[in-house]
Amino acid sequence: MTSFLLNLHSGFSPAAGGSGDDSWSMQVQAEVRGMDGYPVVLPCTFSHPQHSQHSLLQVMWRLGHGSAAAILYRCTSRPGAAACEPNPQQDQRYRLEGNPREHDLSLRINGATLQDNGRYYCRVEVQGREHVSFEDKMGTRLRVEAPPKILAMSVEGGGPAGFTAVCRVQGSPLPDVQWLGPDDPLEGSSLAPSQALGSPGRYRTISQLRDVQPGQRYTCSASNPLGREQAALFVLRPRPPPPAAGPPPALLLLLAAALGTKLVLLVGVGFLGHIKTFSMTSV
């Protein structure tokens, strides 16, 4: 797969923050953009005095700064060794793309996800007669982007309050969500304001459509600069109750995603004044 890299500034930016010899320097990229599901590389290069060429080097990458920082990658480069040796418990999603002996500490993240968004910092330590360290203080901002994805659709409510269709969407940049009727976009008082979903609210949202009527088709359309996804919701009219007491009608809703041959059924039980949230299963 392809690595997606974007340098938002001309060239690299020098990063200050070392201890020891003044001839140290480090260069990082201010911002890198990646695509959800693809690998991405965070560039980091450095220079150091020649006497450290034959010293043991420790390399570390962190997500975040200060006490809340998480160490994502750590490895040791020994003199004469062909590669930098990671810790035995190292998450295999991270690996050093560069060679510390060639002054390259670039980090590769395999299968980047939206949860990888954040600021990353690289650090190198030279262990020899003098313990010298150098760290990037500016950091590299990683922005992982993703086309819209409809995570789930459901129908809630019932009784005098009527039904409400709910569409849960994910994407980065955060998608715009629009509801479509049989012929035209639906606007006005029937639309509830979109809601962000907690801490991942930067890339997840909920859109609600009030006053959903049986016998109608409603389409949730999510779009951002990377694409569009739609899913159609069919609300079936409930059958009249049988003369004698018996189980209520089972099939109330049919949901079909407009994605080729993918078909999703939304199944609920009961029609006794209200309907709970339904779940989706693919067939």
Which residue, 4, 11, 10, 15, is CA-closest to 121? 15
User: What pLDDT, on a 0 to 100 scale, did the predictor assign at position 41?
Assistant: 97
Alpha-carbon distances, residue 43 vs 47, 142, 146 (angstroms):
14, 11, 22
Report the phi/psi class of residue 273: left, alpha or beta, with left for phi > 0 and alpha for psi in -120 to 50. Answer: left
Task: Write out the chain's pLDDT in tens, 283 residues.
Answer: 433 333 333 234 444 455 444 567 889 999 999 999 999 999 999 887 665 566 788 999 999 988 888 999 999 988 878 788 998 889 999 999 988 888 899 999 999 999 999 999 999 988 766 677 888 888 999 999 999 999 999 888 776 777 888 999 999 999 999 998 876 677 654 555 555 554 555 789 999 998 888 888 889 999 999 999 999 988 777 666 676 655 544 334 444 444 432 334 343 323 223 232 333 333 3
207 vs 179: CA distance, rounded Å: 9
| Cα distances (Å, whole numbers) of residue 62 to 3, 68, 136 | 20, 10, 10
Nearest-angstrom CA–CA distance, 131 and 128? 6
Shared fold status for 25-138 and 147-235 = yes
pTM: 0.72
DSSP letter at 91 equals -
In angstroms, the CA 162 to CA 270 distance is: 15
Residue (of 3, 55, 45, 41) closest to 24 by Cα position: 45
Domain spans of the chain?
A: 25-138, 147-235
Residue 131 has φ and ψ, to the nearest 5°, of -85, 115
SS3 120: strand
Q: Tell me the fold of 25-138.
A: Immunoglobulin-like (2.60.40)
Q: Could you tell me which CATH number the domain at 147-235 has?
A: 2.60.40.10
